[in-house]
Structure 1
Amino acid sequence: MSAIHLDREGPLAILRLDNPAKLNSLTPEMLSGLEAHCDALDRDDGVRCVLLTAEGDRAFCTGADINAWGDLAPADFARRWVRDGHRIFDRLARLSKPTIAVLTGHAFGGGLELATACDIRVMAPAATLALPETGVGIVPGWSGTQRLMRLLPEPVVKEMALFGRRLSAERALALGFVAELAEDPLSAARSIAERLLGTSPRATEVAKYMIHAAAGEDAPAMVEALASGMIAASADKQEGVAAFRAKRKPNFTGA
C-alpha cells in the first residue's frame, strides 16, 4: 500500500515516498500522510533538518496517481484535488525546519512541484525534471506555474509546461535549481544537513522566515511570525499577560 514513512536519524528526519510500483506517484493517502508528518515535525524541537526522498532509483515521484483524479468531476478536481494538494505542499514549503529534496530519480509533474516546495534539492546525474501535464489534457496544479516560476527562468518553465521538454540534472544545476549532483544523493543530502548541527536552531528558523518573506512565500504570515516572535520576548508582553490574568491595569514600560 502506498504511504509516506517518517524515520529519525538523531536530529535528521527522513520522509520517504513509498509507492515504487507506480514510480512513487502520489495518492490521497500519501498527501494526507505528508500533511500529518509536517504537523508533527513542526512541533518536534529535536529535528534540525528534514530530508524528503523516495523508494527506488527510477523515480523520485512521477506526479499524481491518475487513478486518484482521472474520474473526478471538474468541481471536485478543482476544489478537492488541486486545492488540497496546494494546501499540503504549502505546509511543506512553510515548515520551520530546513528541507532538502533528495532526487534519486526522475521528478515529473506533481513530483517536481513537491521537490520545489523544499528549500534545496540534491539530484542524481541521470535524473530529469518535467511538467508533462498537458500531454494528458491538464495543466500543472500544485504550484508548477507559480512557485516554480520563482526558481527557474520563465522560458525554461515554458519549455517544460508548453513543449514537454525535460530538464537535465546538469542544466538544473547550472540554473541554480539544484544545489548538488551526486551519484548517492541521500548521502550528499545528509552531509549538507549535518552542517546545520553547529548552528543556532532559532537563528536558522528565523533566517528561513526572512528569506521566504523576501521571496513572497506567504510573505504576510512570515512578517507577522517574525514580528510576533520579537514582541513575545518583550517585558511588555509578560506584563500584559500577567495583568490580564490578575484582572488589573497593565504597567507597560516599553521594555
Structure 2
Amino acid sequence: MASLDLTIDGGIAKLLLNNPARLNAFTPEMLAQLESHCETLENDPDICCVILTGEGGRAFCAGADIKAWAPLSPFDFSRHWVRDGHRIFDRLARLSKPTIAVIHAHAFGGGLELAACCDIRVMAPDATLALPESQVGIVPGWSGTQRLARLIPEAMLKEMALFGRRISAERALSCGFAAEIAEMPFAAALEIAEKLLTTSPRATEVAKYMIHAAVAEDRDAMIEALGSGMIAASADKAEGVAAFTEKRKPVFPGK
C-alpha cells in the first residue's frame, strides 16, 4: 500500500515516499500523511533537519497518481485535489526546520513541485526534472508555476511547462536549483544535515523566516512571526501579561 513514512533518528527526520510500484506517485492518503507528519515535525523541538526521499531507484516521485485524480469531477479536482495539495505542500515549504530533498532518477510534475518545497536539493547525476502535465491535458497545480518561478529561470520553467523538456541535474545545479550532485545523494544529504546538529536551532529557524519574508514565501506570516518573537522576549510583554492576570493597569518599562 502506498504511504509516506516518517522516521526520526538522532535529531534528523526522514520522510520516505513509499509507493515504488507507481514511481512514488502521490495518492490522497500520502497527502494526508504528509500533512500529519508536518505537524509532528513542527512540534518536535529535538528535530534539527528533515530529509525527503523516495523508495526504490526508479524515481524520487513521478507526481500525482493519475488514477487518484482522473475520475474526479471538475469541482472536486480544483477545490479538493489541487487546493488541498497546494495547502499541504505549503505546509512543508514553511516548516521551521531546514529541509533537504534527495532526488534520484526522476522528479516529475507534483514530484518536482514537492522537491521545490524543500530548502535545498541534492541530486543524483542521472536525475532529471520535468513538468509533463500538458501531456495529459492539465497544468501544474501544486505551485509548479509559482514557487518554481522563484527558484529557476523563467526560460527553463517554460521549457518544462510549455515544451515538455526534461532538465538534467547539471542544468539544475548550474541555475542553483540543486545544491549538489552526488553519486550517493542520500549520504551527501545526511552529511549536510548532520552539520546542523552543531548549530543553533533558533538562529537557523529565524534565518529561514527572514529569507522567506524576502522572497515572498508566506511573507505576512513570516514578518509577524519575527516581530512576535522579538516582543515575546520583552519586559513589556511580561508586564502586560502580569497586569492582565492581576487585574491592574500595566506599567511598561519599555524594555
Asked whether the two chains share a fold, i.e. TM above 0.5, the reply is yes
- Displacement of 1:11 in angstroms is 0.9
Distance in structure 1 (CA, Å) of the matches to 2:74 and 2:245:
51
- Displacement of 1:247 in angstroms is 1.2
Deviations 1:189-233 (CA, angstroms, capped at 9, x unpaired): 001111112211100000000000001101000000000000000
Distance in structure 2 (CA, Å) of the matches to 1:217 and 1:57:
32
- Displacement of 1:244 in angstroms is 0.9
Give the aligned partner of residue 154 of structure 1: 154
Give the aligned partner of residue 10 of structure 1: 10
- Displacement of 1:104 in angstroms is 1.8
Deviations 1:90-142 (CA, angstroms, capped at 9, x unpaired): 00000000000011220000000000000000011111000000000000000
- Displacement of 1:76 in angstroms is 1.1
Give the aligned partner of residue 44 of structure 1: 44
Structure 2 stretches lacking a partner, 5+ long? none
TM value normalised by structure 2: 0.99
Distance in structure 2 (CA, Å) of the matches to 1:247 and 1:155:
61
Q: Could you tell me whether the CA contact under 8 Å between 1:104 and 1:184 is conserved in 2?
A: no
Give the CA RMSD over aligned residues. 0.6
TM value normalised by structure 1: 0.99
Structure 1 stretches lacking a partner, 5+ long? none
Q: Does 1:71 align with 2:74?
A: no
Q: Does 1:238 align with 2:242?
A: no
Give the aligned partner of residue 121 of structure 1: 121
Give the aligned partner of residue 62 of structure 1: 62
Distance in structure 1 (CA, Å) of the matches to 2:130 and 2:244:
55
Q: Does 1:213 align with 2:213?
A: yes
Give the aligned partner of residue 175 of structure 2: 175
1:226 match: secondary structure: helix
Distance in structure 2 (CA, Å) of the matches to 1:184 and 1:54:
14
Q: Which amino acid in 2 is paired with 1:217? A: E
Q: Could you tell me whether the CA contact under 8 Å between 1:61 and 1:107 is conserved in 2?
A: yes
2:51 match: secondary structure: strand
Using the aligned pairs only, state the percent identity: 71
The 5 Å alignment of 1:190-209 reads: 190-209=190-209
Q: Does 1:97 align with 2:97?
A: yes
Distance in structure 1 (CA, Å) of the matches to 2:174 and 2:58:
23
Q: Could you tell me whether the CA contact under 8 Å between 1:13 and 1:51 is conserved in 2?
A: yes
1:59 match: secondary structure: coil
Q: Which amino acid in 2 is paired with 1:27? A: T
Distance in structure 1 (CA, Å) of the matches to 2:203 and 2:140:
34
1:7 match: secondary structure: strand
Q: Does 1:23 align with 2:39?
A: no
Distance in structure 2 (CA, Å) of the matches to 1:170 and 1:38:
30
2:60 match: secondary structure: strand
Give the aligned partner of residue 112 of structure 2: 112
Distance in structure 2 (CA, Å) of the matches to 1:229 and 1:82:
33
